[in-house]
Amino acid sequence: MQIGFIGTGVMGTGIVLNLLKAGHSVVVYNRTKAHAATVLDAGATWAETPAAVAQQSQLVMTMVGYPSDVEEVYTGEQGIFAGIQAGSIVVDMTTSTPALAVKLIGLAHDHDVQALDAPVSGGDVGAQNATLTVMVGGDQAAYDRVLPVFQQVGQRVNYFGGAGKGQHTKMANQIMIAGTMTGLTEMLVYAKAAELDLPQVLETLSSGGADNWSMDNYVPRILKGDYTPGFFAKHFLKDLRIALQEADRMGLNLPATKQAKLLYEAMVDDFGLGNDGTQGLIKTYEH
């Protein structure tokens, strides 16, 4: 299949490499071409604009930073909808707002195109190893067509219903991760203050009821002083803000998630650590 992919960051690069391994032809665009070097070296081709990507593709997938970036990539003067072919499918894999997913599917239908919102979980490791979890909303017929492609980049794929349902599922995911990230951070702060052997603590907790994906994947990085992003803290903060906005809209009070947002705001806004991985939260405790 001729696939277009827009956004070759930490996650997008791993996804594109797996699409190439699966035998697809992939044309890419990224705001900074140098950040696409890895996938271009692996066999992807370059297009100068999102519109040019869409003109060449049966399936266009996007993974960018913020909802404003999504909107620009799709609706800008040189955006996807300026070049899309009737009968194509667009899939936004960015973690974005449910309301924007609804807007995009409406615009897609105006162009005789099907659309899906399909955010993922699993971080850089999941993207590299094709073990992502894919949460999908949008056109059922499009989902049925794209499912084999999703299965080439992820190990679990679930369809949740109409436009925006994939994004709502990702918000539930991020609410859960907020708890595990604050938990693992304060666990380490406590264990260090108690003068425990931290690798031994990790080994012990990983074999019991405290075990979780975030701890297994991020505590080893913290112990090595590795704060490179499997997922940018600034993007996680964006996700928590979306989740809380949606909670407010539904009349929900989520105090633990609010506290996690405040902690990540300190990390990103006060200490300027937004380009660290989410595990960099522990640095804020040093202050």
132: helix, coil or strand?
strand
The answer to whether residues 9 and 30 belong to one domain is: yes
Question: Percent of the chain at pLDDT above 90?
Answer: 97
Instruction: Mark which of 108, 138, 161 sits at the end of a domain.
Output: 161
The answer to whether residues 92 and 220 belong to one domain is: no
pLDDT at 287: 78
**Of 182, 210, 180, nearest to 282 (Cα)?**
182
91: helix, coil or strand?
strand
The answer to whether residues 157 and 46 belong to one domain is: yes
pTM above 0.75, yes or no: yes
DSSP class per residue in 134-201: EEEEE-HHHHHHHHHHHHHHEEEEEE-SSTTHHHHHHHHHHHHHHHHHHHHHHHHHHHHHTT--HHHH
Report how many domains make up the chain: 2
The answer to whether residues 18 and 120 belong to one domain is: yes
33, 103, 165, 170: the catalytic one is 170
Per-residue model confidence as pLDDT tens digits over 52-72: 999 999 999 999 999 999 999
- Which domain covers residue 194, as residue numbers? 168-285
The answer to whether residues 265 and 140 belong to one domain is: no
238 is catalytic: no
Instruction: Mark which of 146, 161, 176 sits at the end of a domain.
Output: 161
Residue 132 CB neighbour total at 10 angstroms = 27
* pLDDT over threshold 90, residue 148: yes
Residue 38 CB neighbour total at 10 angstroms = 13
What is the pLDDT of the chain when averaged over all its residues? 97
CATH number of 273's domain? 1.10.1040.10
The answer to whether residues 110 and 202 belong to one domain is: no
The answer to whether residues 152 and 191 belong to one domain is: no
